Amino acid sequence: MAQKKSQPAPGQEADRPALEEAMAELAEIVSLLESGKEPLDRSLANFERGMTLLRVCHEHLDGAARRIEILTGFSEAGEAETEEFDGRSTLDRGRVSAGDNDDHADSQGLF
């Protein structure tokens, strides 16, 4: 039985799956690839689909991070004080402050 696709959220393209759908499909693909039971051509197709889904997940998460503000305190007048959320990974933030002299760092890392 085919699953019914949910309607895209406002601002979401119709052909781009929701984060939860992309993550679920990606988990299935990872399981298939780890099993080693698929032929090479099917494994390559699954890998390519998985990379596409990974990009979709990152786009969703990056979009969410841009919408987040961190509450840093309150002013004397009782108004909330906020700053923008730094959505970069901890590893990326460390590279910026420590420089790119880590021999093990891959500037085109998976995440």
Would the pLDDT of 32 be above 90?
Answer: yes
CA distance 74 to 107: 38
Between CA 20 and CA 47 the distance in angstroms is 19
With a CB cutoff of 8 Å and minimum separation 6, the contacts of 57 are: 19, 22, 23, 26
Residue 96 has pLDDT above 70, yes or no: no
**Cα dist. 11→8, 15, 18 in Å?**
8, 12, 12
Give the pLDDT mean for 105-110.
48
Q: What is the mean pLDDT of residues 52-75?
A: 87
Write down the mean pLDDT value for the chain.
77
- Pick the more confident residue, 75 or 97: 75
Residue 37: count of CB within 10 angstroms of its CB: 9
